Amino acid sequence: MDKRIWILAIASFVVGTVELVIAGIIDMIAQDLNVSVGTAGQLITVYSLVFAFGSPILITLTSKVERRKLLTAAMLVFFAGNLISILSPNFTVLLISRIILAASCSIVVVLSIVMASSIVAPESRGRAIGIIFMGISASLVLGVPIGTFIGELWGWRSTFVLVGGLTLIVAWAVRRYLPQVAPRPGIPLRDQLRTLKNSKILSAHSISILQMTGQFTIYAYVTPFLQETMGLSTNMISLVLFVYGLAGIAGGWIGGWSSDKLGNGRTIIVTLLLHALAIFLLPYSTSSIFLLLIVVVVWCAFNMAPSPAIQSYLIQTAPESSDIQLSFNTSSLHIGVAAGSIVGGLIVNHYSVTTNTWVGGLIVILAILSAVFSLRKSNAKTSTTSS
């Protein structure tokens, strides 16, 4: 595997940290800028919305720019966003900085996947994309706690000082060590959106939306689930979430390796099945912390594992518009996160939080059906072409 892939993984790690680190320092921000915690929480909401809906537009608008140059520029804009966060005199300016950070982050993540798949041989594409997802997972398990710890020591602004410094280092490494990657022929946004009329491609994106919806139906409420079913302390819940994060890092690698060795289709179906099974087993694993941790490892590993295979499948299915398809897919993941949080909240308000596991698992089953539909359409096209 080309070692330069790790530069892209680190880039994804750095920018990924900023998205959710707000959750760990939200009380400090609220107190410092004289806003409510609920208002400060909108910093996460705005970030997710800008990422989800801005990514396809920005990737299209920059489609003619050489990829390494664009990635470097996006990292520098991301640095500027961090600088504005550090200097924010009020909540409005901080909110503007979040828009800048989300927009530049969306370009960095998509280009990291694009460049990773471009600088390796096709048979290593899945593992390359898997390494990028390892970086994204690591930002959750390592970046957020570290950022929160630093914020508690030296104030919430110091978190952005650290991220800003790392951003400059990574931007230099991108410029110094990564090769130039020529942009693909420009396709108007209207024509790129038209690709979603292809049921095979649309159903592939639906896999990600449905899987993340099912995942966050329970994950967004995992703390009350663990408190209600096991009575775990805050420290024990932190341990469970740490193990969850480590499993996610491993899951990115597993999905990439399996995609290269077993094929995209098999990997997508098998990993989704294991993901759904783990969610269904969660209520039955609460009799023992050790049993719970085993199920949590499977749950998170196979939550992350399908993504490299899905993205590799999209590159294989629509090579002429692969950049925008990867952008659509990262947007799909964010849409699923938002939808799952909403669905989970509605369930929690009316039923036991254990019900979230059943609904979440069933939604992942819908993702499997979407995958089967897309893959059968793909196979049918292949058979027709062969005949």
Report, as an integer, the average pLDDT of 130-154.
Answer: 82
Model pLDDT, residue 384: 41
Report, as an integer, the average pLDDT of 90-104.
Answer: 95
**Whether 87 and 231 share a structural domain:** no
pLDDT of residue 186 exceeding 70, the answer is no
| Angle in degrees, CA 359, 333, 12, rounded to 5 | 135
Model pLDDT, residue 330: 84
Model pLDDT, residue 386: 37
pLDDT of residue 70 exceeding 50, the answer is yes
Residue 3 tokens read as: 């070692």
What is the DSSP track for 121-145?
-GGGHHHHHHHHHHHHHHIIIIIHH
| Angle in degrees, CA 372, 375, 380, rounded to 5 | 120
**Whether 173 and 321 share a structural domain:** no
For residues 368 and 60, which has the higher predicted lDDT (pLDDT)?
368
Query: Could you report the per-residue pLDDT of 319-373, keeping only the tens digit for each?
Result: 877 778 888 888 898 888 888 888 888 888 888 889 999 999 999 999 999 999 9
**Whether 155 and 271 share a structural domain:** no
d(CA 235, CA 2): 39
**Whether 246 and 325 share a structural domain:** yes
pLDDT of residue 248 exceeding 70, the answer is yes
**Whether 207 and 248 share a structural domain:** yes
The average confidence (pLDDT) of the chain is 88
What share of the chain in percent tops pLDDT 90? 47
**Whether 142 and 236 share a structural domain:** no
Cβ neighbours around 170 below 10 Å, total: 24
Report, as an integer, the average pLDDT of 213-228.
Answer: 87
pLDDT of residue 271 exceeding 90, the answer is yes
Model pLDDT, residue 151: 84
pLDDT of residue 211 exceeding 90, the answer is yes
What is the Cα Rg of the chain in Å?
Answer: 20
The CATH number linked to 75 is 1.20.1250.20
**Whether 6 and 99 share a structural domain:** yes
**Whether 221 and 347 share a structural domain:** yes
Last residue of a domain, one of 183, 210, 228: 183
pTM of the model: 0.81
Q: Which residues form the domain of 147?
A: 1-183
Model pLDDT, residue 301: 93
Q: Is 362 exposed, middle or buried (0-12, 13-18, 19+ CB in 10 A)?
A: middle
**Whether 160 and 198 share a structural domain:** no
For residues 386 and 301, which has the higher predicted lDDT (pLDDT)?
301
Last residue of a domain, one of 136, 160, 183: 183
**Whether 37 and 122 share a structural domain:** yes
Report, as an integer, the average pLDDT of 11-34.
Answer: 86
Residue pair 211/371 in contact by the 8 Å Cβ criterion: no
Model pLDDT, residue 364: 97
- Provide the domain count of the chain: 2
Q: How many angstroms separate the Cα of 91 from the Cα of each of 33, 122, 153, 379? A: 6, 46, 22, 52
189 pLDDT band, cuts 50/70/90, is: low
Q: How many angstroms separate the Cα of 176 from the Cα of each of 3, 6, 51, 119, 233? A: 14, 14, 27, 15, 47
**Whether 252 and 379 share a structural domain:** yes
pLDDT of residue 143 exceeding 50, the answer is yes
**Whether 217 and 176 share a structural domain:** no
Q: How many residues does the chain have?
A: 387
Last residue of a domain, one of 126, 149, 183: 183
